[in-house]
Each structure stands twice: as structure tokens, then as C-alpha cells.
Amino acid sequence: PVHMTTLAPDCAGQPNNLIGMGKCLVALARKYAPKALVGFHASLWADPDPTKVAQFLAQIGASEADLVFVEMLDRDAGCYETHTDPACQRGGTTGWYFDESNQSSPNFKEHLASVAAITATLGKRAIWWQLPLGVPSQTPGGTSGHYRDNRVSYLFSHIGEFIAAGGVGAAFGTGAGNQTDIKTDDGQFKAAVTKYFQSPTPL
């Protein structure tokens, strides 16, 4: 249950539940920020089945939005591997660093298949958000500000795969303190972006 009719006058005609709330968010965006794009967040933390997540979002208004937002990992894989930073204390120290050869799980091919299922179900293009900025390394872990990760490296060397999965963009950033950032990544992100814009991929 959600209080729509009493607390959201602009959406008084919507039902008092999550469906009403989701559709109200889209309606408010259309009314007050008509030039803005609006999208819902499809997170597999809700359910490992991407189709179920997309179907749920469709019911609450995502099919009326412009985009869908997806994620891979909110912090450097190495931070979770070391398991010492207070901001990186999720269970386990393995499985955070994706296999770039896509032979063992977890890997990028699996992730992109999930995103493709979401974009196909919703009929919307995707934007990745909060992608970590770590630098690839064969050595697990790392240190504060210098944890390993390979998402920047893989995305910029496999842009076609992300587009094929329904992608139109990506946002990078640290999800917590002590992560690798553009000042501590030895120029990786700047170099990747500079090279990309020399010949950007048309959408």
C-alpha cells in the first residue's frame, strides 16, 4: 500500500499501491521536467531472474519510462576480495572479479545476457550506473585507493557487446570511500575515454 490519492495531488487518479507510485513518478517527470529522461532501476538484488525483475518493473510503470538503469558492482572487486575495508564487507572474498575470457562464472557474458533479458522485456535501452574504476590485475585485492577491477577495461574494449545487450551509456563512480578513482587509476579511465571519443560508436 502507498498513500497516493491523499499525498500526491498530481497523481490522484492512480491506485494506492506501488503501481500508482511508479506511474506517478513517470507522470511527475513528464509534467515538471518534460525534457528529462526518466528510468527505473532494474537490480538483480531483488531476484536473480532478470525477466522477473523486468516484469515487476513493467507493472509499476517502467514500461512507460524512457530508459532502464542496470548495475554490475558498486565498488572495486578487489575491495570485496581483501575484505578489510569497512565499506566492503559482503559475504565471501571470491566471485567479485569477472572472468574476461567468459569461460568461468561470474563473467561478462552472463551479465550481459541478463541485461539483454531486461531490455527486451521492457522494450527500453539501458544505462549502467556506479561502475567501479579499478584497474585489471592478476593479483586479487589491492590497497585503499588502488583496488583491482576490470569493468572499465572490459567495457571500453567490448562496446559492441554492451550495445547488443541494449545499452546506450554508462556512468562510472565510486560507491564508497577508499575505492580506486580517476586520480588513482594510473590514467586508465582518461585514456579509455579519450580513445573512445576519437571514434565514438554510433547508436
At residue 160, the pLDDT reads: 96
Confidence bin at 92 (pLDDT 50/70/90): confident
Phi-psi region of 130 (alpha: psi -120 to 50; beta: other; left: phi over 0): left
- pLDDT tens digits along 46-82: 999 999 999 999 999 999 999 999 999 999 999 999 9
How does residue 203 score in pLDDT terms, banded at 50, 70 and 90?
A: confident
**Is the pLDDT at 91 greater than 90, yes or no?**
no
Q: Name the pLDDT band for 178 (thresholds 50, 70, 90).
A: very high
- Residue 195's SS3 state is helix
Residue 26 has φ and ψ, to the nearest 5°, of: -65, -45
Averaged pLDDT for residues 177-193: 97
Residue-level pLDDT at 5: 86
List residues bridging with 60 in a β-sheet.
none
- Mean residue pLDDT of the chain comes to 96
What pLDDT is recorded for position 24?
96
Residue 72, Cβ density class (10 Å: 0-12 exposed, 13-18 middle, ≥19 buried) = buried
Q: pLDDT by residue (tens digit) across 105-125? A: 999 999 999 999 999 999 999
**In the predicted model, is pLDDT for residue 175 greater than 90?**
no
C-alpha cell at position 154? 572490459
Q: What is the pLDDT of residue 68?
A: 98
- 123's grid cell: 522494450
**Model pLDDT, residue 89:** 94
pTM (two decimals): 0.95
For residue 120, count CB atoms less than 10 angstroms from its CB and return exposed for 0-12, middle for 13-18, buried for 19 or more. Answer: middle
Residue 94 grid cell: 571470491
d(CA 55, CA 63): 9
- Give the cell for residue 1: 500500500
User: Hey, which bits of the chain come out as E strands?
Assistant: 39-41, 67-70, 125-131, 142-143, 146-147, 167-172
Dihedrals phi, psi of 172, to nearest 5 degrees: -110, 150
What pLDDT, in 10s, does the model give residues 36-48?
Answer: 999 999 999 999 9
Cell of 157: 574494449
* Largest Cα–Cα separation, the chain: 56
What pLDDT sits at residue 147?
97
Instruction: Evaluate whether 163 touches 202 at the Cβ level (below 8 Å).
Output: no
